[in-house]
């Protein structure tokens, strides 16, 4: 069985991105930058009704607009639309303005239907049904263990709380979209995707062409957080437009489109009760929760929650539990996977009630966690965090901070699976000593290309910049989609195997006993004029799954304005073998910043009267900017014996819970709904009226 080298020269160091020069000079072409010859703009005509029966779509006038080369209807025949923004038709033209003009003259015959866009209203059996044959609110999923009622009756301390989290919109800097070229010879798609082979699979079925006739390229892409799998409706429509127009069509969603129809993190409303004995050992947990995954929720999904379920009780072992979860359908865009699906929701509710329990027991919150969290890695991480954060000096009784600007601290933990499998790679060693590594993975912006170069450089005794890491093309050996924090753990072992094979082949062919490092050039020259190519694949023993991670937050809260400023986040994170310390740290930074947005700013706001998303742009849907970002300290717990474990997801999970606990510690009262806006802070302090949870 292969194993990572005991002594590592490149792996584990802080290696700058190998594609950084291309990115900062603009040479790197993102999927949205691609402009094949003769390309056309593509745009989508979307439903203006949150619910309606559509009986006809007339595209004839749109076809007559100057510059318009193709117009297609998304689906023939009568249909029902179920949310504002559902795709109805698409246009392709020589300019953006031509497309906008064409969208204006598409005529739709539609009969508006009753609709509901708020979770609380949708739960009412008398509310309009999203799906006529199924209730909006299905029977809950129920899980029960032990004797909950008896355990609560015997508990020394019992706390209860109602916690809500918002629908969070997917907002990568590069919106969803593709440029698709359909010719007699096949289909080429430049996709902003987390899975090039998933796009190939989707386009092949949708356009009815063989897989081998579809090539998908993702050289650089601007972020994906779980929702960019498959070509999406926008990819399929771009393909049909290209076929109709006989030209490539670039259909990148507008920010408005992005906010309506390509997924979101479901909302949650969690009624939680937690009991413990006098020593702080948790004995009983009960939760009744609901949330929405938009049109994907409700009884129509035949028992599934459409993404609105989440693990509970989160990370702590409680012997007696009763959990009832349901997901209610509303007339809004469907949820999709969103960075650590379910976990930030679960973490916020659970970590909030744990801190409430600590207050009731008059116990240090970290001490309470250590009593109830059996995970050895998190125990170790809490110990590191206590020391580095100065927890014992900083933690004060809730609300005891003096003055109008109050300071508080909080903490929270996380768990995530990850793991790797299923990647293959080719390595080509050229007589001039250059090395090309080819792998059909994709780099979401996390640094996958750099990881490929780092692993290859380690094996060959070279520098990462000497490796040409070629990824993002379905013509390369296959790899899986980048989801679930599995990319590093899937790709790195395959690259290691392929490079190890290549090194052995080179040494065998040239007779050079050790071709690495300073011997490399001479050994490669012995190849003559023909390159050497070797293959490799993911191997057992080089990766594993299961990451923990804890975070500590320090905040200051202005009790006169309600403004929360996060001073510092400390993240103590394990991720197995660290391949590139720099990319690992930056990915954690990104996770923390996303968690900050979830904690303080982000929330989709639906309008009950019109059914529209009221904040479908960055003016009204706030994400963190640089001024909002606190000091982020990352302590990596290096565990090379575990092999590679992904880190994309765990770092975003506990941030909101840690911040919420810090705010509660500062104020002495809890803001139990995310995002923790100034209005909600002032409401918690009794200075303004209660702010709705947007249900």
Partner 1 sequence: MNTPLCKYLRTKKMFVPVHEAEALTEAAEAGTEADAFYWCNCTLSEIGADDKPAHLRACIPGRICFKE
Residues near partner 1 (CB under 8 A): 75, 79-80, 82, 87, 131, 141, 143, 195, 197-198, 201-202, 205-206, 226, 229-233, 235-236, 263, 293, 295-296, 300-311, 323, 325, 334-337, 341-343, 418-423, 480-481, 483-484, 486, 489-490, 538, 545
State which residue, 210 or 528, has the beta carbon closest to partner 1. Answer: 210
Are 277 and 361 in contact, with CB atoms under 8 Å apart?
no
CA 371 to chain centre: 31
State which residue, 248 or 266, has the beta carbon closest to partner 1. Answer: 266
In the complex, the smallest distance separating the C-beta of residue 5 from partner 1, rounded to whole angstroms, is 24
What number of CA atoms fall less than 13 Å from residue 607's CA on the CB side?
12
DSSP one-letter code for 46 = E
CA 657-658-662 angle, to 5 degrees, is 115
User: Around Cβ 605, how many Cβ atoms within 10 Å?
Assistant: 14
In the complex, the smallest distance separating the C-beta of residue 421 from partner 1, rounded to whole angstroms, is 4
In the complex, the smallest distance separating the C-beta of residue 153 from partner 1, rounded to whole angstroms, is 26
Beta strand ranges found along 498-580 (DSSP E): 532-537, 550-558, 564-574
Are 75 and 98 in contact, with CB atoms under 8 Å apart?
no
Structure tokens at 221: 């892409």
How far from 655 is each of 72, 563, 584, 596, CA to CA, in Å? 44, 18, 17, 6
β-partners of residue 571 are: 551, 634
In the complex, the smallest distance separating the C-beta of residue 637 from partner 1, rounded to whole angstroms, is 22
State which residue, 84 or 310, has the beta carbon closest to partner 1. Answer: 310
Structure tokens at 682: 């002032």
Structure tokens at 443: 């780099």
β-partners of residue 290 are: 269, 326
State which residue, 423 or 510, has the beta carbon closest to partner 1. Answer: 423
State which residue, 414 or 467, has the beta carbon closest to partner 1. Answer: 414
In the complex, the smallest distance separating the C-beta of residue 299 from partner 1, rounded to whole angstroms, is 10
In the complex, the smallest distance separating the C-beta of residue 45 from partner 1, rounded to whole angstroms, is 15
State which residue, 75 or 687, has the beta carbon closest to partner 1. Answer: 75
State which residue, 294 or 549, has the beta carbon closest to partner 1. Answer: 294
State which residue, 338 or 520, has the beta carbon closest to partner 1. Answer: 338
CA 632 to chain centre: 20
What number of CA atoms fall less than 13 Å from residue 220's CA on the CB side?
19
In the complex, the smallest distance separating the C-beta of residue 564 from partner 1, rounded to whole angstroms, is 27
Give the span between the Cα atoms of 297 and 103, in whole angstroms.
30
In the complex, the smallest distance separating the C-beta of residue 596 from partner 1, rounded to whole angstroms, is 21
In the complex, the smallest distance separating the C-beta of residue 656 from partner 1, rounded to whole angstroms, is 16
Nearest CA-CA partner of 140 in 127, 120, 115, 123:
123
β-partners of residue 288 are: 271, 324
State which residue, 140 or 186, has the beta carbon closest to partner 1. Answer: 140
Q: Give 3-state DSSP helix, strand, coil % of the chain, rounded to 5.
A: 30, 25, 45
């Amino acid at each position: 069985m292969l194993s990572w080298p005991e002594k590592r020269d490149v792996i584990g160091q802080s290696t700058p991105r190998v594609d950084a020069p291309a990115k900062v000079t603009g040479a790197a072409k993102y999927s949205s930058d691609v402009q094949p010859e003769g390309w056309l703009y593509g745009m989508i005509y979307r439903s203006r009704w949150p619910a309606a029966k559509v009986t006809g779509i007339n595209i004839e006038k749109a076809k007559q607009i100057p510059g318009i080369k193709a117009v297609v209807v998304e689906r023939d025949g009568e249909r029902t639309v179920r949310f504002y923004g559902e795709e109805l038709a698409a246009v392709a033209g020589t300019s953006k303005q031509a497309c906008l003009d064409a969208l204006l003259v598409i005529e739709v015959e539609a009969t508006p239907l009753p609709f509901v866009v708020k979770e609380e209203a949708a739960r009412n059996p008398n509310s309009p049904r999203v799906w006529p044959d199924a209730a909006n609110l299905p029977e809950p999923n129920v899980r029960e263990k032990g004797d909950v009622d008896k355990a609560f009756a015997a508990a020394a301390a019992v706390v209860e709380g109602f916690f809500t989290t918002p629908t969070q919109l997917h907002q990568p800097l590069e919106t969803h979209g593709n440029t698709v070229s359909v010719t007699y010879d096949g289909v080429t798609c430049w996709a902003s995707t987390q899975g090039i082979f998933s796009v190939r699979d989707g386009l092949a079925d949708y356009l009815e062409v063989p897989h081998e006739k579809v090539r998908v390229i993702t050289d650089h892409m601007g972020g994906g957080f779980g929702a960019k799998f498959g070509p999406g409706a926008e990819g399929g429509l771009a393909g049909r437009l290209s076929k109709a127009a006989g030209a490539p069509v670039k259909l990148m969603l507008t920010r408005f489109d992005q906010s309506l129809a390509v997924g979101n993190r479901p909302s949650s409303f969690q009624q939680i009760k937690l009991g413990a004995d006098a020593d702080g050992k948790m004995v009983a947990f009960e939760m009744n929760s609901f949330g929405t995954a938009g049109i994907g929720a409700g009884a129509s999904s035949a028992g599934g929650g459409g993404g609105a379920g989440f693990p509970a009780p989160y990370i702590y072992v409680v012997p007696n539990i009763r959990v009832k979860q349901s997901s209610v359908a509303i007339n809004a865009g469907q949820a999709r996977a969103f960075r650590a699906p379910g976990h930030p929701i679960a973490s916020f509710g659970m970590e909030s009630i744990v801190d409430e329990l600590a207050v009731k027991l008059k116990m240090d919150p970290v001490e309470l966690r250590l009593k109830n969290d059996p995970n050895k890695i998190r125990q170790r991480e809490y110990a590191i965090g206590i020391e580095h954060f100065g927890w014992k000096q900083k933690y004060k009784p809730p609300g005891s901070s003096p003055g109008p600007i109050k300071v508080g601290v909080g903490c929270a933990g996380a768990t995530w699976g990850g793991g790797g499998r299923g990647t293959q790679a080719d390595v080509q060693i050229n007589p001039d000593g250059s090395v090309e590594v080819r792998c059909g993975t994709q780099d979401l912006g996390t640094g996958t290309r750099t990881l490929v170069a780092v692993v290859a450089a380690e094996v060959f005794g070279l520098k990462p910049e000497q490796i040409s890491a070629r990824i993002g093309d379905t013509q390369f050996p296959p790899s899986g989609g980048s989801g679930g924090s599995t990319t590093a753990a899937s790709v790195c072992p395959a690259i290691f195997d392929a490079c190890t094979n290549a090194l052995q082949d080179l040494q065998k062919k040239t007779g050079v006993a050790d071709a690495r490092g300073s011997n490399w050039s001479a050994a490669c020259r012995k190849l003559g004029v023909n390159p050497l190519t070797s293959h490799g694949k993911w191997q057992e023993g080089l990766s594993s799954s299961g990451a923990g991670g804890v975070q500590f937050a320090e905040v200051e809260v202005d009790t006169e304005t309600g403004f929360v400023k996060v001073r510092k986040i400390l993240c103590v994170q394990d991720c197995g073998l660290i391949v590139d310390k720099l990319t690992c740290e930056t990915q954690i930074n990104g996770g923390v910043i996303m968690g900050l947005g979830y904690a303080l700013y982000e929330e989709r706001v639906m309008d009950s009267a019109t059914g529209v998303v009221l904040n479908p742009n960055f003016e009204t849907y706030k994400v963190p900017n640089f001024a909002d970002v606190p000091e982020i300290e990352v302590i990596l717990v290096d565990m090379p014996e575990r092999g590679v474990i992904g880190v994309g997801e765990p770092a975003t999970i506990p941030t909101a819970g840690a911040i919420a606990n810090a705010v509660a510690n500062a104020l002495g009262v809890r803001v139990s709904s995310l995002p923790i806006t100034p209005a909600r802070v002032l409401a918690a302090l009794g200075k303004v009226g209660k702010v709705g949870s947007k249900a």
